[in-house]
Structures are given as C-alpha cells and as structure tokens.
C-alpha cells in the first residue's frame, strides 16, 4: 500500500473554520489532499494560507451559506470545476441552540435543520454521482452523539443528528459496491472554543477551578473523563478515507469516551 494513498485527491470540508472542521482540514492536507473549504469568511483566508504554507497543497475557499437550498450543490460543483474531481466530502457545518420544545423558536428549528441536515443531503446528492463515475469516494457526516441519543432542550439538534445518521445509512446502502463509502462520526464533548467558554462560565458560577469545572462537565456524560480532541476527529476521518476502511460503510462511529455505551 502506498504511504500516501490520498495524495492528490480532492476533499471538501464544510464548517472548516471551527475546531473540529479546522483539524479535519489540516489532517487531510497532511495526507497531500487538495481542499475546498467552506466556513466563516473572516477566518477562511487565514486558514487557507496556513494550510498552503504548512502542507504545500492547493486550497480553494467558499463562504456560501449552506443553509440556502442550492448552496451545498453549488459548492460541490465549484470544487469539481476548480479541481476536476471530488473524492471526499466531509459534512461538518452545524448550528446549536437550546430551549424547551414549547418555546423553541421556529426560525431556529428551520435554521438548524437546514444547515445540519439538509445541507448534507444536497452536498451528497451532488457529490455521489461524481464519485460513482470515478469508482471511488468517501462521504463523512459529522453527526455528534446526539445523533445516537437524546438530550433535553436540544430538539432541533437531536432531530437533525438522528436524521443525518439515517441519511448515512440510506446512502451507504445506495452506494454499496461502487467504491464509495458513507459514514457518520458521532463525537462526544470536544474541547473547542465553545466548550472552553462553557468551562469558564461553570467555573465562575460554581466558584471552582477551570480543571474542576471541566471534570464536572465531563462527569455527567463522558465516562472516560477526557475530552475528544479535534485532532482525534481529524485522524478518524483520515482512517475512514484509507484503504483499511474500504468495507466500513453506512455506519455511525461514536468517538465519545463511552458516552453512548451507558
């Protein structure tokens, strides 16, 4: 097996400017893959420059709003036009909002379903025919543990996550035998800037150290008492793109320190 079987392949990563998406993009670039990145406009340019400098790959960027129905299809088409092919699609973009269901704003419900679920559907629908024609492709949907279990006050996020895993299973079956695999990653608590803010808030409210606050946050859900790192998610995506994962398809892989084993 080649030491760099992914070198020269083309990957699309959505939500590339957040902690997990950033790490996934860098992990794929480290394998020699060229990238089409989608995310917030303010951070995309810096990320593109970093990856091009550090890994010597070609990087294109797009800040289109994937919540718009045609945007995800357009992103795939733009990548194919720019690079001539699309080999890997990582659907990582997502929103979160918490509220009791009876007070959950309709606009928030619509926005979360549009970005967390429908954007993945549109991207897959555009990318899959290209991958089938070339006889190889990888689709990885980042779904969260909330695609496997429920949580109060997160109706839209949980519904979208479960829908994304259902979509993964359906398309995995449709693509079986074509050389294209479709899988979902379900991370537990990931130490990102958002989680760091939650830790700081909990520490302040409870008048405890940040280390104690982090353990308290973990202890309720994540038996390992350790955070998933963005880099671990990046490495897992690389594994799913490798020849070792040729027969892994239509499945949800929990990276959650034992959360969903309970």
CB 180 within 8 A of CB 137: yes
Asked if 157 is an active-site residue, the reply is: yes
Per DSSP, the residues of 202-254 read HHHHHT--HHHHHHHHHHTT-TT-SPBPHHHHHHHHHHHHSGGGTT--SEEEE
Locate tokens 């919540």: which residue?
67
- Spatial CA neighbour of 33 closest among 79, 75, 74: 79
Q: Where are the beta strands (DSSP E) in the chain?
A: 10-13, 34-38, 59-62, 88-91, 137-142, 180-187, 251-255
Catalytic residue chosen out of the listed positions 121, 157, 227, 259 = 157
Q: List active site positions.
A: 157
């Amino acid at each position: 097996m080649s030491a760099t079987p992914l070198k020269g392949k083309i990957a699309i990563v959505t939500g590339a400017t957040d902690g997990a998406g950033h790490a996934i993009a860098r992990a794929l670039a480290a394998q020699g893959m060229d990238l089409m990145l989608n995310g917030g406009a303010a951070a995309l340019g810096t990320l593109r420059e970093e990856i091009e400098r550090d890994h010597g790959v070609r990087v294109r960027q797009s800040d289109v709003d994937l919540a718009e129905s045609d945007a995800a299809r357009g992103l795939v088409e733009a990548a194919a036009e720019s690079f001539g092919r699309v080999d890997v699609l990582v659907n990582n973009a997502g929103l979160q909002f918490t509220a009791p269901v009876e007070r959950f704003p309709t606009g928030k419900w619509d926005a979360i379903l549009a970005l967390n679920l429908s954007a993945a559907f549109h991207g897959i629908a555009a990318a899959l025919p290209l991958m089938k024609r070339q006889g190889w492709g990888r689709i990885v949907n980042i779904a969260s543990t909330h695609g496997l279990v429920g949580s109060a006050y997160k109706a839209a996020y949980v519904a979208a996550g479960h829908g994304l895993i259902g979509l993964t299973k359906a398309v995995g079956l449709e693509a079986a035998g074509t050389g294209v695999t479709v899988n979902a990653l379900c991370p537990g608590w990931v130490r990102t800037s958002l989680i760091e803010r939650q830790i700081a808030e909990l520490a302040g409210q409870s008048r405890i150290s940040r280390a104690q606050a982090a353990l308290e946050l973990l202890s309720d859900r994540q038996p390992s008492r350790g955070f998933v790192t963005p880099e671990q998610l990046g490495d897992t995506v690389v594994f799913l793109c490798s020849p070792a994962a040729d027969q892994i398809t239509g499945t949800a892989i929990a990276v959650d320190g034992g959360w969903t084993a309970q």
